[in-house]
């Protein structure tokens, strides 16, 4: 921490016998570092904010390389949304996160009945996605487990937002 303070990235203040450190927003590389962190680690928070007010989304989760912890800064973000909403509204809601993150977001949108049907039919793509690690953004993990049956018990417990900060 002292080294980061000495180069100007951090500023500190003492309160009693405690020393608090903060990022110095005036640091010349602050915006670049912020951008790098958002592109690689702030994905869940940015998407959660964008999707939180989206009416009709029952569940939304990240899957694929980001959820598995195997992404690179250039990996696209695989997003599954389950609910009743127009695709155009979802795409519009994702424009700002794509700009912020500097990464393509690849959404898949299904209504609940379609997911249930594809799971009953053991459709390969949906079955695989439901078994992979995921980061739940909208809805409760228990509700997602119930929707998919026991196939995703461990997968839903993939990475949490804290893991990808």
The pLDDT score that the predictor gives to residue 40 is: 59
Digit-coded pLDDT (tens) for 106-121: 999 999 999 999 999 9
Residue 149: the pLDDT is 75
CATH number of this structure's domain 41-164, picked from the four choices 3.90.1690, 3.40.50, 3.30.750, 3.30.460: 3.30.460
**Which residues make Cβ contacts (< 8 Å) with residue 62, sequence separation at least 6?**
43, 44, 47, 77, 78, 79, 134, 135, 137
Q: Name which of 125, 104, 93 is nearest 43 in CA terms.
A: 104
* Element spanning 18, H or E: strand 18-23
- Rounded CA gap, 92 and 72, in Å? 25
Residue 41, pLDDT score: 61
pLDDT along the chain (165 residues), means of 10: 92 93 90 73 87 93 90 87 96 94 94 94 93 91 80 44 40
Report in angstroms the alpha-carbon separations of 118 from 9, 89, 142: 51, 24, 20
pTM: 0.71
Task: Assess contact for 45 and 71: CB atoms under 8 A.
Answer: no
Could you tell me if 131 and 157 are in contact, meaning their C-beta atoms sit under 8 angstroms apart? no
Report pLDDT for 156. Answer: 44
Q: Where are the domains of the chain?
A: 2-29, 41-164
pLDDT in the model for residue 68: 87
């Amino acid at each position: 921490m002292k080294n980061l303070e000495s180069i100007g990235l951090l500023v500190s203040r003492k309160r009693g016998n405690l020393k608090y450190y903060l990022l110095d927003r005036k640091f010349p590389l602050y915006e670049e570092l912020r951008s790098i962190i958002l592109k690689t680690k702030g994905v869940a928070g940015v998407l959660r904010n964008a999707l939180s007010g989206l009416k009709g989304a029952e569940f939304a989760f990240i899957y694929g390389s980001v959820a598995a912890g195997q992404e690179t800064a250039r990996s696209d973000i695989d997003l599954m949304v389950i609910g009743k909403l127009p695709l155009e509204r979802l795409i519009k809601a994702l424009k700002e996160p794509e700009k912020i993150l500097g990464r393509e977001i690849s959404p898949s949108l299904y209504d609940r009945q379609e997911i249930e049907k594809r799971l009953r039919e053991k459709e390969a793509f949906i079955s695989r996605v439901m078994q992979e690690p995921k980061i739940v953004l909208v809805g409760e993990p228990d509700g997602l487990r119930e929707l998919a049956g026991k196939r995703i018990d461990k997968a839903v417990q993939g990475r949490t937002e804290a893991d990808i900060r």
